[in-house]
Amino acid sequence: MEVLMPEPQIYVERTLAIIKPDIIDKEEEIEDAILRSGFHIIQKRKLQLSPEQCSNFYAEQFGKVFFPNLTAYMSSGPIVAMVLARNCAVSYWKELLGPSNSLRARITHAHSLRALYGTDELRNGLHGSLSISSAEKEIRFLFPEAILEPIPTGQRARDYLNLYVKPTLLAGLTALCKEKPADPM
| Catalytic residue set | 127
pLDDT digits (tens, 9 = 90+) for 6-26: 665 555 689 999 999 999 999
CB 86 within 8 A of CB 13: yes
Give per-residue pLDDT as tens, 116-172.
Answer: 999 988 899 999 999 998 999 999 999 988 766 666 667 777 887 888 888 888 888
- pLDDT of amino acid 173: 85
Mean pLDDT value across residues 34-57: 96
- Give the integer Cα–Cα distance in Å for 183 and 96: 51
In tens, the pLDDT along 82-105 reads: 999 998 999 999 999 999 999 999
- Neighbour order of strands in the sheet with 79-86: 40-47, 79-86, 13-19, 126-128
CATH 3.30.70.141, the chain: domain bounds: 14-142
Query: Mean pLDDT, the chain, as a whole number?
Result: 89
- Spell out the residues 6+ positions from residue 5 whose beta carbon is closer than 8 angstroms to its own: none
| pLDDT in the model for residue 162 | 85
Nearest by Cα to 58 from 80, 73, 46:
73
Q: What is the pLDDT of residue 148?
A: 63
Note the pLDDT of residue 89. Answer: 94
Task: Report the alpha-carbon distance of residue 128 to residue 163 in Å, rounded.
Answer: 36
pLDDT attached to residue 122:
86
Task: Give mean pLDDT, residues 101-112.
Answer: 95
According to CATH, the topology of domain 14-142 is Alpha-Beta Plaits (3.30.70)
